[in-house]
């Protein structure tokens, strides 16, 4: 059994990523047969090269299949065992992974029955799932769980459809949290592969070719379905597990969510403010937290998608929120669609990275790809009313004369098949329906304001500050910063050119004081995860972002459109001064002075905590934009490094459930180059004003008799392009995804500092 204390090993669950093979096959007229299941398994077996195995060829990274509930198959089992089974759609089937301990399982089922009773359900019967494990390797066998299916029925009244699905969703989470709460050591073992009245999932730590034989159920002719979603897992640089095999409850995902740490952080930050019209506050307590550190990137994506879906969004609508198209630079896109994406852009940070996703709720089946189209999805329609989609062509031998249409799913597009309507619904029709349901454009026009349209404010200044050279020295400014970095960006609008690669010793090995960001190394795209070319693929990239509190993500209303629009998270002096006047536009802005007693270094830690608590108090008082300023230094007051204070305030507000109510804007005296800005954004800043760099450029312009406006314009152009370049190395397209994503490896930061300022970040080298 895996230890829960991952800190004692090199294994880090945050690095769980997938790069896999996926596929779906469905009968458009909803005709159920075992042929659909068999063909799905054949597709899976033909994508075995897209999965992976360890040093043992017979231990796979994971494989699985999602189908509709095979009612006839279960009904025959119930009759043979003298059990009663209601009509299809009036009961739920749960596929459970359990420990191989009979006594422990007896205790588990006592708890399951208690939770079912509390939620007005009853257990009809339990079925042991027959398996043939003769072909699987020792590693997979050593962690193989016991597998059972539980059949449950509501006791309070006869419910079906989405109403029953929602109650089963609550029950599943309530059981899981209760069991893990009592038996903490079971968090990696006890698991619901599925609990639904519509779908069931068979999966495990198997190779693609083992799944059919491992589960004899799937070959039974009574095991019928009109839908089959399949997945072959390639676990990128991580540890395979039975529970991390796919499909998950809604999706099968091929790709990697590069921003998953930020996505999980942001979701956690909004949970305390969420109010549902569908679930009671009691229900929500059973459902939270939605995300988990024990899940992979795909698992957390699926968890959020399912939560949105169960709260009333259609699955395509929720996917459009989570994986929006590249709309910012598309002049040909329909206005209603642009308005939809703009409305949600400030409320849901994109789950960014290469992605090809198949999804289903048992009635609707479909697929989508990421905004860049970095994962293929090939599909075809046949004259016998079937749709076949997969990561590649040729996964199923189909006579060419039977194929009536075939194509590749384009970047950002969605394809669905509605089995109730018996037809394919294309991207254009689907999104026209979703995007025209509400007047998003009208709401955006009335409530969103461009920062350039804010009224001017009295020019920002620090009248009592020491002379510039003194402050440069105090903030660690060097001649290289001035004469190489700033001078080059100001004169050429490009970053300074240096040799390829970096042989600079790590900051932790230096005997000289280092800028805090030098201890952080940007992660980069690797294995199956391609970087982006920020020049040739600029169309897909954007620095557009927003300031202000997040709206109510579970409600569609005009108030959600209230926000301040920025073309870049980098603010010049004009924009920053306008922002200081945002109260006239209905916002509340407060400044925090990030300095500490220069004569007492222990005051640094105290001030970080004090400012974090003060920030929370101000947010509770109604503040929705916080500026954090470390430029107000003097002989007695030293600057707190911007990155330390931003990270600390960011995580403290997350812990209090307040982070989504406020934007953090940094006015930093220690911000010079794009790497500094990238670190600040990655650890929680929403916008950055490099006031000290601008002041230094002004001095240089006066000395050299140059145009300060031109120098500043060039500087910000170079910084914007530098930020895009940094994002592109990890394959991230949008700055909204990059914010809070913690895409750096910390080298030489003490664990105590990490826990306060960079919580959840993997320490590459820690003291």
Catalytic positions are 20
What is the DSSP-derived secondary structure letter of residue 518? G
The neighbour count for residue 557, using CB atoms within 10 Å, is 10
Element (H, E) at 368: strand 364-369
Residue 396 CA to its chain's centroid (Å) = 32
Instruction: Please give the helix or strand (H or E) that residue 25 lies within, else none.
Output: strand 21-27
Beta bridge partners of 639: 595
C-alpha 68/C-alpha 194 separation (Å) is: 11
Q: How many angstroms from the chain centroid is the CA of residue 101?
A: 35
Closest CA to 50 of 353, 306, 296, 252: 252
Is 164:197 a contact under the CB 8 Å cutoff? yes
Cα–Cα distance, 85 to 152 (Å, whole number): 9
Nearest Cα to 350, choosing from 662, 741, 734? 734
Q: H or E element: which one contains 226?
A: none
User: How far apart (Å, rounded) are the C-alpha atoms in residues 469 and 667?
Assistant: 19
Tell me how far apart the 2 most distant CA atoms of the chain are, in Å: 94
Q: For residue 358, what are the β-bridge partners?
A: 252, 367
Q: Could you tell me which residues come within 8 angstroms of residue 236 by beta carbon, excluding any fewer than 6 positions away?
A: 17, 18, 19, 256, 527, 528, 529
Q: Looking at 414-460, list the stretches that DSSP marks H as alpha helix, in order from N- to C-terminal side.
A: 427-435, 440-447
Structure tokens of 528?
A: 């199956």
Q: Return d(Cα 671, Cα 715) in angstroms, integer.
A: 12
SS3 content of the chain, % helix, strand, coil (to 5): 40, 20, 40
Q: How many residues does the chain have?
A: 767
CA dist 34 and 39 (Å) reads: 8
Tokens, residue 601: 């270094």
Q: How far apart are CA 262 and CA 456, in angstroms?
A: 33
Q: From CA 181, how far away is CA 722, in angstroms rounded? A: 46
196 close to 93: Cβ distance less than 8 angstroms: yes
Coil/strand/helix, residue 202: strand
CA angle at 130 for the pair 125 and 136, rounded to the nearest 5°:
145
Tokens of 297: 């990137």
HSE-up of residue 329 (Cα within 13 Å, Cβ side): 14
Which positions ≥6 away from 481 have C-beta within 8 Å? 672, 673
Pair of tokens at residue 634: 């003097």
CA distance 531 to 354: 10
Q: How many whole angstroms separate alpha carbon 604 and alpha carbon 595? A: 8
Can you tell me whether residue 512 is helix, strand or coil? coil
Comparing CA positions, the residue from 150, 572, 559, 553 lying closest to residue 318 is 553
The C-alpha atoms of residue 420 and residue 493 are separated, in whole angstroms, by 57
Question: Distances in Å between the alpha carbon of 741 and those of 319, 333, 662?
Answer: 20, 29, 17
């Amino acid at each position: 059994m895996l230890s829960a204390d991952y800190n004692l090993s090199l294994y880090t669950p945050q690095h769980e990523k997938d790069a896999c093979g996926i596929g779906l096959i469905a009968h458009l007229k909803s005709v159920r047969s075992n042929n659909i299941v068999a063909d799905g398994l054949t597709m899976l077996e033909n994508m075995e090269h897209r999965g992976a195995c360890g040093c043992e060829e017979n231990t796979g990274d994971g494989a699985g299949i999602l189908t509709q509930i095979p009612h006839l198959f279960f009904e025959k089992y119930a009759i043979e065992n003298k059990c009663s089974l209601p009509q299809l759609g009036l009961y739920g089937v749960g596929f459970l992974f359990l420990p191989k301990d009979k006594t422990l399982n007896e205790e588990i089922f006592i708890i399951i029955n208690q939770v079912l009773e509390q939620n007005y359900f009853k257990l009809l019967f339990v079925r042991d799932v027959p398996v043939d494990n003769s072909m699987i390797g020792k590693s997979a066998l050593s962690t193989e769980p016991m597998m059972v299916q539980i059949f449950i029925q509501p006791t309070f009244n006869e419910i079906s459809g989405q109403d029953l699905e929602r109650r089963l969703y609550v029950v599943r989470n309530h059981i899981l949290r209760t069991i893990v709460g009592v038996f903490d050591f079971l968090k990696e073992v006890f698991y619901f592969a599925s609990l639904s009245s519509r779908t069931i999932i068979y999966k495990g730590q198997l190779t693609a070719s083992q799944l059919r034989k491992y589960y004899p159920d799937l070959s039974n002719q009574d095991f019928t379905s009109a839908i089959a979603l399949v997945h072959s897992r390639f676990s990128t640089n991580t540890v395979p597990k039975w529970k991390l095999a796919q499909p998950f409850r809604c999706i099968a995902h091929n790709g990697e969510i590069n921003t998953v740490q930020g996505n999980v952080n942001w979701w956690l930050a909004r949970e305390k403010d969420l109010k549902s019209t569908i679930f009671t506050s009691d229900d929500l307590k059973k459902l939270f937290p939605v995300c988990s550190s024990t899940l992979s990137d795909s698992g957390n994506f699926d968890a959020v998608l399912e939560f949105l879906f169960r709260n009333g969004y259609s699955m395509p609508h929720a996917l459009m929120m989570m994986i929006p198209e590249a709309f910012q630079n598309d002049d040909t896109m329909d206005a209603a669609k642009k308005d939809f994406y703009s409305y949600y852009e400030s409320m849901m940070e994109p789950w960014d990275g290469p992605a090809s996703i198949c999804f289903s709720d048992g009635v609707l089946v479909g697929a989508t790809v990421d905004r860049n189209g970095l994962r293929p999805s090939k599909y075809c329609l046949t004259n016998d009313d079937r749709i076949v989609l997969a990561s590649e062509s040729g996964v199923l031998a189909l006579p060419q004369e039977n194929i009536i249409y075939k194509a590749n799913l384009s970047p950002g597009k969605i394809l669905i098949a509605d089995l109730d309507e018996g037809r394919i619904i294309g991207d254009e029709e689907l999104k026209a329906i979703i995007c025209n349901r509400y007047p998003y454009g009208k709401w955006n026009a009335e409530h969103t304001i461009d920062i350039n349209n804010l009224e001017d404010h009295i020019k920002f200044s620090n009248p009592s500050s020491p002379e510039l050279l003194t402050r440069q020295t105090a903030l660690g400014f060097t001649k290289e910063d001035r004469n190489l970095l700033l001078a080059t960006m100001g004169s050429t609008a490009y970053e300074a050119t240096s040799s390829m690669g970096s042989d600079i010793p790590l900051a932790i090995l230096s005997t000289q004081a280092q800028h805090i960001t030098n201890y952080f190394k940007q992660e980069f795209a690797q294995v199956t995860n391609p970087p982006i070319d920020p020049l040739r693929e600029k169309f897909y990239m954007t620095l557009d972002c927003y300031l202000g509190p997040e709206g109510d993500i579970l409600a569609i209303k005009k108030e959600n459109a209230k926000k301040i629009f920025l073309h870049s998270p980098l603010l010049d002096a004009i924009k920053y001064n306008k922002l200081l006047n945002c109260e006239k536009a209905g916002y509340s802005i407060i400044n925090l002075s990030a300095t500490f007693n220069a004569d007492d270094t222990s005051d640094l830690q105290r001030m970080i905590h004090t400012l974090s608590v003060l920030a929370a108090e101000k947010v509770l008082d109604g503040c929705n934009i916080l500026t954090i300023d470390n430029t107000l230094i003097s002989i007695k007051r030293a600057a707190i490094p911007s990155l330390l204070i931003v990270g600390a305030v960011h995580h403290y507000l997350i812990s209090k459930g307040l982070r989504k109510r406020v934007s953090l804007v940094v006015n930093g005296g220690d911000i010079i180059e794009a790497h500094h800005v990238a670190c600040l954004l990655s650890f929680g800043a929403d916008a950055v004003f490099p006031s000290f760099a601008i002041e230094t450029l002004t001095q240089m312009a006066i000395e050299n008799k140059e145009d300060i406006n031109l120098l500043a314009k060039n500087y910000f152009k170079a910084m914007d392009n530098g930020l895009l370049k940094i994002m592109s190395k990890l394959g991230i397209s949008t700055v909204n995804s990059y914010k809070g994503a913690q895409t750096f490896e910390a080298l030489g930061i003490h664990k105590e500092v990490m826990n306060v300022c960079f919580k959840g970040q993997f320490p590459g080298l820690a003291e």
